[in-house]
């Protein structure tokens, strides 16, 4: 079961972070966080960017862990496939959450 989870887990983390940031976005718009100004940008933008960074770091950590001796699978097929899904998770996090940096939050 652990081997299967090694393949599934990186994208599960993407799905969790994607859903969480979408929920945060809904909550922030409902509570008017975009109107709270902080240096450089609104509180809401800060929150979204920090959340995105955390999601990217989590994906990066996952990739490193699956490459490490401690957590890697001894099965070559599982090892390679888990690295592929881990890279997919990292790219997905980078691309699908990019709008937090470039799009207007509640317009």
Partner 1 sequence: MNALRRHRKLEAIWSSEPGWKGWTSSVNHSDLGRMFLFTAFFFFFVGGVLAMLIRAQLATPDSAFVDAGAFSQFFTMHGTIMMFLFAIPAFEGLAIYLLPKMLGTRDLAFPRLTAYGYWCYAFGGSMLLVAMLFGIAPDGGWFMYPPLTGPLHSPGINTDFWLIGITFVEISAICAAVEFTVSILKYRAPGMSLDKMPIFAWYALVTSLMILTGFPPLILGSVLLEVERAFGLPFFQADLGGDSLLWQHLFWLFGHPEVYIIFLPAAGIISTVIPVMARTTLLGYGWIVASAVALAFLSFGLWVHHMFTTGIPHMGLAFFSAASTLVAVPTGVQVFAWIGTLWKGRPELHMPMLHILGFFVTFVIGGLTGVMVAVVPFDWQAHDTAFITAHLHYVLFGGFVFPMLAGIYYWLPLLSGRKRLFRLGELAFALIFVGFHGTFMAMHWVGLMGQRRRIETYDADTGWGVINFISSVSSFVMAIGLAMVLVDIIIHAFVAMRGRRNPWQAGTLEWASMSPPPSYNFASLPEIRNRDPFAGDPDLPNRLAKGEGYLGEPKAGRRETLMVDIATGRPEAVVVYPGNTRLPILMAAVTGAFFLSILLKLFWITPLALAGVAALALVWVWQLGSRTDQGAQDAGRGVTLPLASETDRSPGWWGSTFLLVANATFFGSLLFGYAFLWTVAPGWPPAEWLDPSWAELGLGIGAALVGSIALRVGTRRNRNGTSPQLALVPALLATVVTVIVFALLLFRLPPPDGHAYAATLFILGAYGLAHALLVGLMQGFLILQVRRGFTSARRQSGFSVVGLWSDYLCAITVLSLLAAHLPGMAL
**Could you tell me if 43 and 36 are in contact, meaning their C-beta atoms sit under 8 angstroms apart?**
yes
Report the distance separating Cα 90 and Cα 56, nearest Å: 7
If binding is defined by CB under 8 A, does position 61 make contact with partner 1?
Answer: no
Which of 20, 22, 32, 54 is close enough to bind partner 1 by CB under 8 A? 22
15 binds partner 1 (CB under 8 A): yes
3-class SS at 91?
A: helix
Residues facing residue 37 across a β-bridge = 42
The span of 35-43, 55-63, 64-72, 87-95 binding partner 1 (CB under 8 A) equals 87-95
- Residue with Cβ nearer partner 1 (18 or 60): 18
Sign of CA dihedral 100, 16, 57, 81: negative
Which residue in the block uniquely carries the two structure tokens 């699956």?
66
Is there binding between residue 52 and partner 1 (CB under 8 A)?
no
Give me the phi and psi of 89, to 5 degrees please. Answer: -65, -40
Q: Does residue 21 bind partner 1 (CB under 8 A)?
A: yes
Q: Please report, as ranges, the residues that interact with partner 1 according to CB under 8 A.
A: 1-4, 7-8, 11-12, 14-15, 18-19, 21-23, 25-27, 29-30, 75-78, 80-81, 84-85, 88, 91-92, 95-100, 102-107
């Amino acid at each position: 079961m652990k081997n299967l989870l090694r393949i599934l887990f990186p994208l599960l983390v993407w799905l969790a972070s994607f859903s969480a940031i979408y929920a945060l976005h809904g909550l922030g718009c409902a509570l008017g966080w975009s109107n709270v100004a902080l240096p450089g940008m609104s509180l809401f933008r800060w929150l979204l960017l920090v959340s995105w960074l955390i999601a990217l770091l989590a994906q990066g950590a996952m990739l490193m862990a699956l490459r490490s001796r401690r957590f890697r699978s001894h099965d070559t097929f599982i090892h390679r496939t888990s690295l592929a899904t881990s890279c997919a998770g990292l790219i997905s996090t980078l691309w699908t959450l990019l709008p937090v940096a470039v799009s207007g939050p509640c317009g």
